């Protein structure tokens, strides 16, 4: 199904091939959409496509079985299929295919990713509409200096509160 969507949206899309170029382009379109640049850590990208008119993106990897990544700061495992597709708009990916998150012992399909209006949280939703929010900094490769400063200030304040 996802490959059919890719073929339907390939016409008029910006298509890039080659691992290094694909990594750079994937980060660029995530930043353009206001999404964290580490959201799709795909180590073997071979093709990235973005049809701006339709708001459709796809990412293809060389690993046919997909790849699992652990976001250490939140302790979550995420599995990315060989092909990940989504319809996109500012701060949101919906109709997402090829992404699952491990909750307890089962893999749960993720169908939507939305950045909160404040920009501090990112919410992942299942096809059933259930969602879970995490700090957006958990998915950033290089957190913004002000986010780092705020986190450091919060840690300092918390440490001071526990010593008093």
pLDDT digits (tens, 9 = 90+) for 16-56: 999 999 999 999 999 999 999 999 999 999 999 999 999 99
Residue 5 contacts residue 51 (beta carbons within 8 Å): no
Q: Are strands 121-125 and 67-71 parallel, antiparallel or unpaired?
A: unpaired
Domains in the chain, number? 1
Residue 9 contacts residue 54 (beta carbons within 8 Å): yes
Residue 93 contacts residue 112 (beta carbons within 8 Å): yes
pLDDT band at 160 (very low <50, low <70, confident <90, very high): low
Query: Is 11 strand, coil or helix?
Result: coil
Q: How far is CA 134 from the centre of its chain?
A: 12
Q: How far is CA 17 from CA 25, 62, 108, in A?
A: 10, 11, 30
Q: What is the tens place of the pLDDT at every residue in 72-124?
A: 999 999 999 999 999 999 999 999 999 999 998 999 999 999 999 999 999 99
Interatomic CA distance for residues 43 and 84, integer angstroms: 13
Q: What is the pLDDT of residue 2?
A: 64
Interatomic CA distance for residues 18 and 158, integer angstroms: 45
Interatomic CA distance for residues 148 and 11, integer angstroms: 41
Residue 108 belongs to domain with CATH number: 2.30.240
pTM, whole model, 2 decimals?
A: 0.82
pLDDT exceeds 60 at position 153: no
pLDDT exceeds 50 at position 147: no
Domain interval for residue 132: 2-163
**What are residue 69's DSSP bridge partners?**
78
What are 90's two structure tokens?
A: 């500012």
pLDDT exceeds 70 at position 163: no
Sign of the alpha-carbon dihedral angle for 130, 148, 144, 75: negative
Q: What is the pLDDT of residue 141?
A: 84
Average model confidence (pLDDT) across the chain? 88
More confident residue, 70 or 144: 70
């Amino acid at each position: 199904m996802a490959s059919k969507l890719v073929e339907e949206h390939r016409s008029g899309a910006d298509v890039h091939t080659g691992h290094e170029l694909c990594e750079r382009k994937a980060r660029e379109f995530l930043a353009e959409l206001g999404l964290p640049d580490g959201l799709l850590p795909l180590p073997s990208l071979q093709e990235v496509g973005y049809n701006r008119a339709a708001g459709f993106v796809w990412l293809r990897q060389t690993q046919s079985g997909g790849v699992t990544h652990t976001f250490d700061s939140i302790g979550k495992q995420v599995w990315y299929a060989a092909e990940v597709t989504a319809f996109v708009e500012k701060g949101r990916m919906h109709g997402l295919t090829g992404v699952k998150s491990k909750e307890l012992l089962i893999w749960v399909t993720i169908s939507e990713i939305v950045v909160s209006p404040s920009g501090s949280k990112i919410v992942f939703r299942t096809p059933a509409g259930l969602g879970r929010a995490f700090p957006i900094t958990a998915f950033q490769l290089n957190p913004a200096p002000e986010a780092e400063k705020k986190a450091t200030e919060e840690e300092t304040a918390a440490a001071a509160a526990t010593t008093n």
